[in-house]
């Protein structure tokens, strides 16, 4: 099994492996009763996006301290890679931003509202996590977004938040908040480019749907 997985990586690239196959590569070996792939499938199946503690991992048959530590280390390394990921300092499009944020917050277990600030030339100035939790008018105020924009002299902004349930649909709250933010942006000379919904694999655009 391990030889086949290594050959698959060499021939087609590591990004072609399924989650359980990646986990099997990390673990290396199974037990006399269960193959490494069988163990990996169980872990992926019964975990919430691999959000598992050391004790939870060790509850799976065939996973000891060493294997559990390997898994946690690999997950933490992936998390740090995502945290370090930044948009290139070149002219960007909404599509660039959307794809970047899919990697950045698509797998987050909670909703995160992110604002990406740009100048007139569509160069990224900075991006900020503005809020963690359900995004609506009762919890997030436009000033939370615009305060940052004014501080860094941004003239344009793209906002986005993730849906952990995987839905690409905009709620009534999403639209109302966006329209309120758009009005506030207009008052101080900032252009709200778009509001994106982010999921694990893709994104949707409120502007493309003519909702703002």
> Would you list the domain boundaries of the chain?
2-84, 94-205
Listed as ranges, residues in the chain with pLDDT below 50 are none
Between the alpha carbon of residue 83 and those of residues 15, 73, 108, 201, the distances in Å are 19, 15, 11, 17
Give the pLDDT score at 203. Answer: 96
Q: What angle do helix axes 19-27 and 65-84 make, rounded to 10 degrees? A: 130
- Taken as a whole, the chain contains a residue count of 212
Give the pLDDT score at 158. Answer: 97
- Give the integer Cα–Cα distance in Å for 155 and 199: 27
DSSP E strands in 26-147: the ranges are 112-118, 124-132
Rg (CA), the chain: 21
Give the pLDDT score at 86. Answer: 60
- Give the integer Cα–Cα distance in Å for 176 and 212: 9
Residues 6+ apart with CB under 8 A from 141: none
Give the pLDDT score at 183. Answer: 95
Q: Which residues make beta-bridge pairs with 191?
A: 156
Give the pLDDT score at 196. Answer: 96
At the fourth CATH level, which superfamily is domain 94-205?
Cytidine Deaminase, domain 2 (3.40.140.10)
């Amino acid at each position: 099994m391990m030889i086949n997985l290594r050959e698959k990586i060499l021939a087609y690239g590591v990004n072609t492996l399924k989650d359980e196959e990646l986990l099997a590569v990390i673990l290396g070996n199974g037990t006399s009763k269960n193959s490494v792939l069988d163990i990996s499938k169980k872990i992926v199946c019964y975990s919430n996006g691999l959000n598992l503690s050391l004790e939870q991992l060790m509850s799976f048959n065939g996973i000891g301290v060493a294997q559990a530590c390997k898994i946690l280390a690999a997950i933490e390394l992936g998390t740090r890679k995502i945290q370090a990921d930044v948009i290139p300092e070149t002219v960007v499009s909404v599509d660039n931003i959307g794809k970047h944020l899919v990697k950045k917050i698509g797998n987050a277990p909670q909703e995160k509202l992110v604002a990406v600030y740009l100048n007139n030339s569509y160069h990224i100035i900075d991006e900020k996590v503005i809020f963690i939790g359900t995004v609506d008018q009762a919890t997030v105020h436009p000033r939370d977004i615009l305060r940052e924009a004014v501080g860094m002299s941004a003239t344009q902004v793209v906002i986005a938040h993730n849906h952990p349930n995987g839905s690409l649909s905009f709620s009534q709250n999403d639209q109302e908040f966006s329209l309120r933010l758009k009005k506030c942006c207009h008052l101080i000379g900032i252009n709200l480019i778009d509001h994106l919904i982010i999921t694990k694999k893709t994104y949707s655009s409120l502007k493309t749907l003519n909702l703002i």
